[in-house]
Chain A
């Protein structure tokens, strides 16, 4: 079983719609959680950190459920530019290695 699992998609999303997807992690000692965005053949870029209380950044909302060990990302009012692969990332401690899921591909279409 992989440490971080994601639905690979693709999620085909009409422009303006809302899309949400989860990832699950197996290590209960995980302390830090992130969503990274990766465009085709580019490096991953931090989209947002995920805090225990949940957090929002514009059209993006992230939630953490420690009891069930999953993290979610919701994108509202999807834009064509949101088309990318979204990587769920966990870490056991500050300064420690990042463990990535395989990514969820999102395609926003007109």
Chain B
């Protein structure tokens, strides 16, 4: 186990709703990244938080937003849900000064948008 936890495990929402996903990073890790994995595809980078600041963003619209808290846990918020937002959402944590950029993934939240 990586020590990264995510909640909830599964979620069903309808189009237009808003959702908040949560991630607790591994102890000692201050960087959290979020990824979206659609069925049959590799994970796609959404954004990264380092010490409570956004530290890079992928090609996702502004309705995808996030937060990182002082304890380095993180939230991913998605507004105005669309059908294509149905995916596995993964968070990954890594420690400061990780020269090889190894990231440790949580089990993911499976979001279904109807």
Contact = CB atoms under 8 A, between A and B. Distances in A.
Given A44-B90, A87-B42, A102-B42, A97 B98 contact: no
Chain A interface residue bracket vs B:
20 to 34
B107 A95 contact: no
Interface string B42-61: 11110010100001101000
Contacts of B84: none
A94 B99 contact: yes
A25 interface: no
A91 interface: yes
A52 B107 CA distance: 30
A87 B44 CA distance: 12
A43 B95 CA distance: 19
B106 A95 contact: no
Contacts of A45: 2, 105
A95 B101 contact: yes
Nearest to B58: A97
Of B2, B31, B42, B56, the most chain A CB neighbours within 10 A belong to B42
Contact of B41 (A44, A49, A94, A102): A102
Contacts of B103: 46, 98
Interface of A: 4, 32, 34, 41-46, 49, 87, 91, 93-103
Given A44-B105, A46-B103, A98-B101, 6 more contacts: A41-B88, A43-B90, A94-B98, A95-B55, A95-B98, A97-B45
